[in-house]
Structure formats: C-alpha cells, structure tokens
Amino acid sequence: MANNITNEVNVFVNDYIVPGVVDGVFKNDPLLAHLKANNLTVHPGGRQFQENFRYRPMIGGKYPVGGAFNVTKRRTADAGQFKLKHHYVNVTEFLEELDIEAKGPNAVFSLLQNDLEGAAQTMSAILAIELYNSDSSGLDQAMNGLPEIISDGSASSYDGTTYTTYGGVTRSAVNNALDGQITRVNAAITYKQLEEAYNDVVLGDIEPNLIVTTNRGMSYIKQRFHPQYRVTQQDPKIGFTGVQFNNATILQSQYAPGTQGTDDSDLGNYYDASGETLWILVTDALKMWVTDAKMFQFGFSGFKWSVDSTIVSGQYFASVNITSPAPRLMHQLWDITG
C-alpha cells in the first residue's frame, strides 16, 4: 500500500512545475518578480555562457587628400563568462502521513501542495538574498548578484568588497565598459542626491526604469521629498505598488540589505547592512538565466525512497544566474542613514 501511494504521488508531482518564484510567505522582493516576469533567458546547455560587450570604438577620423589610412585591426569587444548556479530545496515526507494520517486523495494532495508551495517560497527567498549578494565569500555556487554587477573595480560595494573583475574580465582593462556607479551616502538621502544618481546613468534615451530600496529607505524618500514629486503606480505584471521618480518606479524589498535585514541562518545568508541600500536599475540590461532542462527549471525531482525506512524525499531545483552586459547603466547607493 505504501509503495502504491508513493507511486501515485509521483504521478502528480513529477510533472508538476511549482509556479513562480515570487515569495508570498516569508518576505517579498519585487526585483526578482520583475526579472522572472520580464527578463528570463533560457540557457540551452553547456558548461558556461557569455555576455558580449563593446569597450572601444573602431579606428577612424579625419585624413588629408591622398593620405594613408591606419588599417590596424583594433580589438573592440570582449565577453564575460558565466555559469548557471544550482540550487535545491528538500521536501521530505513520511509514508505514514501520506498513506494513513492524511487520508484520501484530497488530504494527500493538500499536504503535498502545502509542502511544494513552501519549497517554492523557500527557493524564492534563497534567490532574493543572493540577488543582493555575490561570491565575495570565495564560493562559486551563489549567483553573481548586484554588488558584483554594479561595481567600478575600485570603490567598495555595500558588502565591503571591491570587484575588480566581472565574468573573468578585468574591469580596468576594458575602458570602464563594465563599471557601474557606486555612491556611499553616509548621510540622509536628499532629492538632489537621488536626482544626480539617477542622471549619472542616463545614456541617450536609455533611462533607469526601476529603483529598489528597503522599506525604511522608501520611508526616508517619502518623508524628505515634497508630495508633488510623488506619483504612485503599479506594475501590472508583478503587482507591486511603488513611487514614480522620473521614468523609474521606486519599489521596496524586504530582502534589499538594510538596518532591518537579518542574518538568516535557516536560509544560509544575510541581508543586513549598517545603512539602507538603494539600487537604480535598467532592467533591460539585466538577464535572469535559467536552464532549459525541465526538472532544473523550478521543477521537482519526484520522491525517492530512503534505505530501510518509510521516509521519502525529493528536491525542488533551480539552475539560474543573474548577469548584465551593461553595468554602466546602473547605480548602487548604500549607507543611507535617514
């Protein structure tokens, strides 16, 4: 009987892709929701993938009649190399609960639905925390997060790390093409400062479209800016309400590092900081890579028997990464104190 119920359960869960990575139980991160809704890029296979970028112009200029041209071939482009980062959330069940205590198909699937949704929400939290962190610990399993992406190779990001390379490319060797803007505020945020930080990364008709800060950071902005500067709006694709600033929407994330963050040992990482952080983003310059392998694309492995017990377990997987070929279009502000 126990074997039969396990097989029946696997019929249900093996082909069940747990919907979404938007966290609805622990805390919320609108940036992760936005990237999943708008910026998914499928990785078709291979050990790594690359982001191409141009860092020098071609040789050219004025010349006299009959003058010789400089026909030297100049290297103008390079590419960063990245890998998918593999994540799992374990789901363990006891056959006694599935076969005896949670009696009937509805009860069984209710128990499983609850645990699978919990796995999705746990995965969402893990990825959201990694989004605002990076591999500064020396481990290469975590995603290449915003502190690494939005760096100029000389100033420290909010996490205290100076990211001199990105995707294996030395930032200083490619003429600032991979340099994001970093500002340590170390004071209260002002309208002037936010306006200048926004315009520092405007490039022609490309402007930031999303600004993410902490809950307290949002409060500071609302308190200090005049009411006439504020217009609330909602992103129809992700359902988060924010404040419009120029062409960007300011949203608040409970996983953006700040004074109300925490060292969450259950999730294996932290999202605290001595001051609030604020991230000015062009989301078209960000990609959320995900494998094309169905099981590792927020899928479930199905339950497997443990040896000599009635315990069955399965894993919820996500092989993903976050990258950008244009960090220069974005700005991180940190240590905002009021």
289-327 tens-digit pLDDT = 999 999 999 888 888 888 778 888 899 999 999 999 999
**% of the chain residues with pLDDT over 70:** 80
Phi, psi of 229 (to 5 degrees): -85, -5
pLDDT of residue 29 exceeding 70? yes
Percent of the chain at pLDDT above 90? 46
Least reliable range by pLDDT among 4-13, 72-81, 120-129: 4-13
Cβ-contact 261, 29 below 8 angstroms: no
C-alpha to C-alpha distances, 302 to 14, 86, 104, 117, nearest whole angstrom: 5, 18, 20, 15
Task: Output the pTM of the full model.
Answer: 0.84
The pLDDT mean for the chain works out to 83
Residue for token pair 């300011």:
250
Q: For the CA atoms of the chain, what is the radius of gyration?
A: 23
State mean pLDDT over 181-206.
Answer: 94
pLDDT in tens, 254-288: 899 999 877 666 776 667 788 999 999 999 999 99
